[in-house]
A and B are shown apart, each in its own frame.
Chain A
């Protein structure tokens, strides 16, 4: 209920603001909605959304899997931590734009270069978060697993993964939003399709309605993913916690 009220308030403010600034700078909600419907009719919207989503998921998967493995290693082994730390600091502080431009120069204006550039941007955040989680693993449960001779796959799945759960969730949450923002930049700079490319075109035509239409459509998609996929997984993973209400 509160969420709907808050959303309604947002739309109302938007509508009022569009009245003051005029439709050139800020088209009203009804105009943007009209543009979304028009783009959807031609089918263009879904193609661009699909292309961008595919890049988002590919980059997200690479950065999460790679980041989790590296983070676990660095959290559990002092040597790996010492070796990896300088690299991590460099990657963390390298601006996204530098990584993207270099990826395109070295890898050409290709799909692989684009996805890798995004994944490398996200990777160090995942590593840092998962490393923190790996450092916080309960040594008591490790000892229990050793005493009872738990095989390695079982140990990872039943003891390590559940403890890393909150850290993976945090990395995933912030990751998804970061990845899709960077994917748009990559598309703007070096891809012939996707939401980012379309927004670039709209920018050159000064078509604010189209910019907002694409941005809004993608936000809706992300919201759907969040409520239909991320939240149910989280609920299932934390069903053992005692509910405080």
Chain B
């Protein structure tokens, strides 16, 4: 018998993944992506756009089986996912969109989730009546409503304005803090990863490989602006060797660069 802990882990071992382009050419996307996540651990995959981050998530979610390697998901296995686009059903209300995938979740649990995400007022609205920021929050509510053991987030805050992204990031941090969910976040925004994750995996440009693994020891809630920026600068300088490195909001970092380093 294997120890119980084993079953709670996410184990990813992608030896090789290639795509065939419309022209017939095959090109490598991923190579030797191996990592393990413990129960309720939050990890972030950070890499330049187009490096194959979304492909990793799709493989883990079981949407793409055409790869060499193996993925072991936590045994209980409920999966919650936020796609890059909200992917809501336009013909169902916000509430129906969420309850459709989580029919066994209690009404009170949904209500509290809607409250945390400021969606109370929008429960009877259709997705077409929502802004992108609201639609993303609904997608997040849907992923959390199923009480997932594993939560996959694909750039959940991309293309939102900074103030809104900041607020949603705080809500997201509070939500994953309060639940024992193993979370894998994909982002090109280093600062976002530093604020949310326990561990960061830095990816190279295509074919993506893990070039560095950075554990974050300070608890999420205790990470100060200054600390986040400093760490961001340090990581950014570490990966400067790579072209198109994921530099987060360069202006705020260069300021700190001058004083701190």
Enumerate chain A interface residues (CB-CB to B < 8 A): 140-141, 143-144, 146-150, 154, 158-159, 162, 165, 237, 240-242
Contact, CB under 8 Å: B92 / A148: no
> A31 vs B156: C-alpha distance in the bound complex, in angstroms?
71
Contact, CB under 8 Å: A242 / B100: no
Contact, CB under 8 Å: A240 / B62: no
Q: Which residue of B lies closest to A148 (CB)?
A: B101
Contact, CB under 8 Å: B128 / A240: yes
The residues of A that contact B83 with a CB separation of less than 8 Å are 140, 143-144
- Is B79 an interface residue, CB under 8 A from the partner? yes
Contact, CB under 8 Å: A240 / B92: yes
Contact, CB under 8 Å: B101 / A146: no
Enumerate chain B interface residues (CB-CB to A < 8 A): 61-63, 79-81, 83, 85, 87, 89-92, 100-101, 126-129, 142, 146
Contact, CB under 8 Å: A150 / B101: yes
Known: A146-B62, A240-B128. A141 touches B79 (CB 8 A): no
> A237 vs B92: C-alpha distance in the bound complex, in angstroms?
11
The residues of B that contact A140 with a CB separation of less than 8 Å are 83, 85, 87
Contact, CB under 8 Å: A158 / B100: yes
Contact, CB under 8 Å: A150 / B85: no
Contact, CB under 8 Å: A148 / B146: yes
Contact, CB under 8 Å: B63 / A147: yes
The residues of A that contact B61 with a CB separation of less than 8 Å are 147
Contact, CB under 8 Å: A147 / B129: no
Known: A143-B63, A146-B63, A148-B101. A240 touches B90 (CB 8 A): yes
Q: Which residue of B lies closest to A144 (CB)?
A: B87
Q: Interface centre among A140, A141, A147, A241, by most B CB within 10 Å?
A: A147
The residues of A that contact B81 with a CB separation of less than 8 Å are 144, 147-148
Q: Which residue of B lies closest to A145 (CB)?
A: B101
Q: Which residue of A lies closest to B148 (CB)?
A: A148
The residues of B that contact A147 with a CB separation of less than 8 Å are 61-63, 79, 81
A-B pairs with lowest CB-CB distance, top 8? A148-B101, A240-B126, A162-B91, A240-B91, A144-B87, A147-B81, A242-B128, A140-B87
With both chains docked as a complex, state the minimum distance between the C-beta of B59 and any C-beta of chain A, in angstroms.
12
The residues of A that contact B129 with a CB separation of less than 8 Å are 242
> A141 vs B101: C-alpha distance in the bound complex, in angstroms?
12
Contact, CB under 8 Å: A150 / B100: yes
> A148 vs B142: C-alpha distance in the bound complex, in angstroms?
9
With both chains docked as a complex, state the minimum distance between the C-beta of A99 and any C-beta of chain B, in angstroms.
37
> A151 vs B80: C-alpha distance in the bound complex, in angstroms?
16
Apart from A147-B61, A242-B128, what are 6 other A-B pairs with CB-CB below 8 Å? A140-B83, A140-B85, A140-B87, A143-B87, A159-B89, A237-B91
With both chains docked as a complex, state the minimum distance between the C-beta of A151 and any C-beta of chain B, in angstroms.
9
The residues of A that contact B127 with a CB separation of less than 8 Å are 240
The residues of B that contact A241 with a CB separation of less than 8 Å are 128
> A194 vs B145: C-alpha distance in the bound complex, in angstroms?
57
The residues of B that contact A159 with a CB separation of less than 8 Å are 89
With both chains docked as a complex, state the minimum distance between the C-beta of A241 and any C-beta of chain B, in angstroms.
7
With both chains docked as a complex, state the minimum distance between the C-beta of A63 and any C-beta of chain B, in angstroms.
25
The residues of B that contact A150 with a CB separation of less than 8 Å are 100-101
> A149 vs B149: C-alpha distance in the bound complex, in angstroms?
14
28 pairs of residues in contact across A and B, judged by CB atoms under 8 Å: A140-B83, A140-B85, A140-B87, A143-B83, A143-B87, A144-B81, A144-B83, A146-B62, A147-B61, A147-B62, A147-B63, A147-B81, A148-B81, A148-B101, A148-B146, A149-B79, A150-B101, A154-B100, A158-B100, A162-B89, A162-B91, A165-B91, A240-B91, A240-B126, A240-B128, A241-B128, A242-B126, A242-B128
Q: Which residue of B lies closest to A165 (CB)?
A: B91
Q: Which residue of A lies closest to B101 (CB)?
A: A148
The residues of A that contact B87 with a CB separation of less than 8 Å are 140-141, 143-144
Q: Which residue of A lies closest to B129 (CB)?
A: A242
The residues of B that contact A237 with a CB separation of less than 8 Å are 91
With both chains docked as a complex, state the minimum distance between the C-beta of A38 and any C-beta of chain B, in angstroms.
49
The residues of B that contact A162 with a CB separation of less than 8 Å are 89, 91
> A141 vs B62: C-alpha distance in the bound complex, in angstroms?
15
With both chains docked as a complex, state the minimum distance between the C-beta of A154 and any C-beta of chain B, in angstroms.
7
The residues of B that contact A154 with a CB separation of less than 8 Å are 100
> A159 vs B129: C-alpha distance in the bound complex, in angstroms?
19
> A146 vs B92: C-alpha distance in the bound complex, in angstroms?
18
> A148 vs B146: C-alpha distance in the bound complex, in angstroms?
8
> A144 vs B62: C-alpha distance in the bound complex, in angstroms?
11
Q: Which residue of B lies closest to A138 (CB)?
A: B87
The residues of A that contact B63 with a CB separation of less than 8 Å are 143, 146-147
The residues of B that contact A143 with a CB separation of less than 8 Å are 63, 83, 87
With both chains docked as a complex, state the minimum distance between the C-beta of A192 and any C-beta of chain B, in angstroms.
46
